[in-house]
A and B are shown apart, each in its own frame.
Chain A
Amino acid sequence: MSQYLHLLSNTSSPTPLDVWAPSGKYIKPQVLDQYAVGYFKNLKDGDYSLEVESYYKSVKNRIDYIDGANLIANDAIERVILNGKAGAYGFELLFRKNEGRLKGWLAYTLSKSEQKTEGRSPNETGINNNSWYNTAYDKTHDISVTSSYDVSNKWKANANFIFQTGQPTTYPNGQYVYNGIVIPNYSDRNSTRLTSYNRLDVSATYTPKPRKKEGWQSYWVFSIYNLYNRKNATSISFAQNEDTGRNEATRLAIFGIIPSVSYNFKF
């Protein structure tokens, strides 16, 4: 498979700037080879189903920013990127319960996604000294459980749990003082990870008139996102606290617990 549009993202920032660059004179199209083997089976006359799949993917011409690239209004993006390659492989498992009052599925993915960006000549160090490093979206474990339970004709309960290995990011591996200010020194790109991401969402759906199949049909959804209010880190930044003079790690978490009510209708 080939792809002629490249996504460049500076993912360490909480407000990522995604640049889509087309292939052209300086950027070669991404070429991808993918292999997948899967197994699918219905159990107990289709009450349950099991899917297992594993895949391997290798990508040529995967581009990434050089260290210290300047992104502001940069109309010559090819000058701040290097051409590299990427690879990903993994194992996926999906177990589903299709019938009965309790329905749902459990999905698990074990995967690895990495890339290598070499310098153009032996004198250039490339990224991370020409070695393989994690892509920004590499997640070793990804578990999700989704279930729904029919309490009665009118009420239905749902729950949804997600656990993911923390995203790769770049932490400092030291500090030094230069010209009176504290400078964090950063380790290799994407060599460290944020803390793991997990959350539980619950919701209840209320359909006042479940038998009505035409005209004004409506239902209410009451839901709570991130039930146990876990502060999943979107990013962690490192700097000196100007008041105390100590170095600190500051976590940015975007969504804590969010209750919501929605009214849906169709006619």
Chain B
Amino acid sequence: MKKILYMLTLSIFIFSCEDVVEVTVPNAPPRLVIEASLNWFDGTSGENQTIKLTQSAPFFNNQVSPATGATVTVSNESNIVFSFVDNNLDGNYECTNFAPNLNETYTLNIIYNNETYVGSETMTSVTPIDFIEQKNDGGFSGEAIEIKAYYTDPAEEENYYFFEFKEEHETNPFLNVYDDEFINGNQIFAFYSNEDTAPGHELIIKNYGVSEQFYDFMFLLLQQSDSAGGGPFEVQPATVRGNCINVTNPDHFPFGYFRASQATEFIYIIE
């Protein structure tokens, strides 16, 4: 019986195959994409901040275009307004006098193509990365390099973490979100493994403190963008909406998120 089962499983692998195909997909009109991430890194003043605005594009386009000509401001609880200016006309709106404060709520206001977009978020704290552990005999092959970035979760609060691993020579960062539901108060790690990892590469690890809402947002986003998409435990994909709304025309909602995080960075050279 075991043998038959084994043969059956094997035959599915032999006869099934994946290939890249040409399909026609629907094209929705472009929407504004808000990548407003206020990051206050350890040991910096947090004065320099950038908000990136782009537009969504048809799925098979090779690139997305920036959203220029917008008016972007962020205000704090005492109604002090910080202006973000697109100096290079590339969709990167910069501010040089931002004043970050932990647990302060900030409100984002964007006027783009005569429509007003708003969103608000509270600056969330983060814990530093304690140390990095490297293992050279990981994975199925027993030869993969695995990196673990350890951090200590504070016990008294509910925490959500957003990790970004950016390795030299890689175009895309590796992102992951973690919550502390099962690890509250313990020392725990964020995990990174990549088949192209090689000794000598510089790996920049960033950890951002984020809200529960951002955790949920990013969790779904990562699930739907995963190249292994459509795992067995996923529902049908759908539009993931962030915390920004279009007050002029609610149906023309933006993509992306307005995040405010305390952040910490660790640069590690792969051994």
Contact = CB atoms under 8 A, between A and B. Distances in A.
B235 interface: yes
B138 interface: no
Contacts of B6: none
Interface string B21-55: 11101111011010101000000000000000011
Interface in B212-256: 216, 220-221, 224-240, 255-256
A255 B16 contact: yes
A169 B235 CA distance: 11
A55 interface: no
Interface residues of B, number: 58
A33 B18 CA distance: 41
Interface string B56-69: 11111110100000
Nearest to B54: A177
B20 A13 contact: no
Contacts of B164: 179-180
A252 B227 CA distance: 13
B20 A249 contact: yes
A174 B17 contact: no
B93 interface: no
Interface residues of A, number: 63
A164 B256 CA distance: 39
B175 A65 contact: no
B237 A254 contact: no
A190 B238 CA distance: 10
A100 B230 CA distance: 49
Contact of A249 (B22, B56, B221): B22
Given A180-B173, A185-B28, A192-B25, A170 B236 contact: yes
B30 A174 contact: yes
A66 B221 CA distance: 16
Interface in A211-267: 231, 233-242, 245-256, 258
Most buried by B among A69, A180, A231: A180
Contact of B18 (A13, A183, A250, A258): A250
B240 A12 contact: no
Contacts of A170: 236-238
Contacts of A174: 27-28, 30-31, 56-59
Interface string B159-202: 00000101000011101000000000000000000000000000
Nearest to A8: B235
B140 interface: no
Given A68-B240, A184-B224, A249-B20, A192 B26 contact: yes
Nearest to B220: A68
A189 B26 CA distance: 13
Q: Which residue among A174, A236, A237, A253 has the maximum number of chain B CB atoms within 10 Å of its CB?
A: A174
Given A179-B164, A181-B225, A186-B238, A173 B25 contact: yes
Given A176-B33, A178-B221, A10 B235 contact: yes
A181 B26 contact: no
A12 B256 contact: no
B1 interface: no
Contact of A13 (B172, B224, B232): B232
B19 interface: yes
Interface of A: 10-17, 65-69, 71-72, 169-187, 189-192, 195, 231, 233-242, 245-256, 258
7 contacts: A13-B230, A173-B26, A175-B59, A178-B35, A184-B225, A185-B240, A238-B59
The 6 nearest A-B residue pairs measured at CB: A67-B238, A239-B227, A173-B28, A176-B56, A186-B237, A237-B229
Interface of B: 12, 15-23, 25-28, 30-31, 33, 35, 37, 54-62, 64, 164, 166, 171-173, 175, 216, 220-221, 224-240, 255-257
Given A178-B256, A185-B28, A195-B23, 7 more contacts: A14-B230, A174-B30, A176-B256, A180-B175, A186-B238, A249-B21, A252-B16
